[in-house]
Amino acid sequence: MARKMLIDGELGKPSEEEVHYDFDLFVIGAGSGGVRASRFSAQYGAKVAICELPFDPIGSEVSGGVGGTCVLRGCVPKKILVYGAAYGPELEDARNYGWEVNERVDFNWKKLLHKKTEEIVRLNGIYKRLLSNAGVKLFEGEGRVIGPNEVELIQLDGTKMSYSAKHILISTGSRAHRPGIPGQELAITSDEALSLEELPKRAVILGGGYIAVEFASIWRGMGVTVDLCFRKQLPLRGFDDEMRAVVARNLEGRGITMHPCTTLTKLEKAEEGGIKVHTDHGEVIMADVVLVATGRLPNTKRLNLDAVGVELDNMKAIKVDEYSRTNIPSIWAIGDVTNRMNLTPVALMEGTCFAKTVFGEKPTKPDYSHVPCAVFCIPPLSVVGFSEEQAMEQVNGEVSVYTSSFNPMKNTISGRTEKSVMKLLVDAQTDKVLGASMCGPDAPEIMQACIFCINAGVAVALKCGATKEQFDSTVGIHPSAAEEFVTMRSETRRVSANKPKTNL
């Protein structure tokens, strides 16, 4: 039966002659968003199919795997490596806590790599079972759109099958971008970095985003000599400038060589082995591995969207409306392939909203306001709400800035000279908390507790907002770093709105 759909409060009128489709929904791409959308749609009673490329730890145009980038070659394996890298400095710190650690402690990269691969294979199986338990039909192969209601599936043996669907959802994610510099074929992306057969002794990383910063921390924690090259004065463009400076100091303090305002001009094989890395400042850096982490591009190239008439933007991302619907009424898109807010929890949110809108008869728009995020460098950075620069642009009047910089209790014994920094932004007129940032151990876990308060404070007239006074009246857990958020009593500075943006 053709299903009804509620949009903007109006129930779509069924056609006089109901059309039979093989499926109510066919999803192309079984990453986090696609799996969520298909499962939830099936729970509403829809007949759902989903297709995904065959599994491989290193993704390509013809390989992928159920679970998608985050689970198989992104957030999850990256976090495993972050945990592994953190043990090196922790062992150093342990000596002052009485642990008689031998002078030589060996690190077995291949063992960690094997354990990481075992885990992502396990998760791949779990995601397949989630789909099966929800009654979703899984096809392994490449999907492409050949009509407003038709998907072609190219199976592993090359045979082609065609399926009709009342709705088509595209959730094919994104892929790593390679800059067009001479010798770029000698470089690797984050996909390959997660599966290197040998741990390099020397690594050069191009990029200043969270992937570049995280891999710099991972490799340095494992004893690799790391050079980090980025175009701006500070890494992590788009984050709070003060917190960016904190991250940069921490990276440098851990032994990473920083190259601000620098890009790469050429890579070439060295006669003595390794790679010669040329910068735009005339430097030559020797490396065993060069990682390019200069952004990601939407996976739309092989979907045949132009032929069907689906509109793309100049980045080749799929253009959608506020309900994730394309200009073709029966075709929808969520996740990184739309290039809206490229975070796994956001793709999950979009998948949930899609299912509610299309099959739950409850039109729901994804809410992108003040989504929290974390950078898993060592130590990590986590934020929710406005940065100071955003607050100055968007708030009328003055913004009160509260900061706390302190030596974590653990470091007082270990001797590590690395401060934690916390920051709160408050609307000086209303006392509403606008944003929070933290760089230090356990920052993402601590920040999670602040999310409801911050979101409530900035969602205009919809939720009961948290004020600075309410933060101040909260009893903290002692001794803990988290209590600093409720004990920052003294205003560090007050800034006026609409000041010029920095170019850091």
In the annotated binding site for NAD(+), the residues are 207-214, 295
Contact predicate 69/172, CB 8 Å: no
How far CA 256 is from CA of 98, 281, 322, 438, in Å, comes to 28, 19, 42, 21
Instruction: State yes or no: is 259 an active-site residue.
Output: no
H/E run at residue 203: strand 202-206
CA 497 – CA 234 distance, rounded (Å): 23
Going by C-alpha positions, the residue among 86, 79, 299 that lies closest to residue 210 is 79
Let me know: does 344 contact 28? Beta carbons within 8 Å.
Answer: no
3-class secondary structure for 433-472?
Answer: EEEEEEECCCHHHHHHCCHHHHHHHHCCCCCCCCEHHHHH
CA distances from 273 to 286, 314, 491 (A): 9, 40, 55
Catalytically annotated residue among 114, 177, 278, 478? 478
The binding site for FAD comprises 79, 143, 172-174, 336
Neighbour count for residue 235 (Cβ, 10 Å): 26
Cα 85 from chain centroid (whole Å): 20
Give the residue among 125, 162, 151 at the shortest CA–CA distance from 28: 151
For residues 206 and 227, give the distance between their C-alpha atoms in angstroms, rounded to a whole number: 9
Query: Under a CB-based contact definition with an 8 Å cutoff, are residues 419 and 405 in contact?
Result: yes
Share in percent of the chain as helix, strand, coil (round to 5): 30, 25, 45
**Which residue, 317, 322, 330, is CA-closest to 149?**
330
R_g of the chain, CA atoms, integer Å: 25
DSSP, collapsed to helix, strand or coil, labels residue 51 as: strand
Tell me the two tokens of residue 129: 């079972």
Could you tell me which of 208, 199, 137, 143 has the C-alpha nearest to residue 171? 143
**Long-range CB contacts (within 8 A, 24+) of 109-117:** 109/196, 109/198, 109/199, 109/222, 110/197, 112/80, 112/81, 112/84, 113/195, 113/196, 113/197, 115/80, 116/77, 116/80, 116/81, 116/194, 117/57, 117/195
Catalytic residues: 478
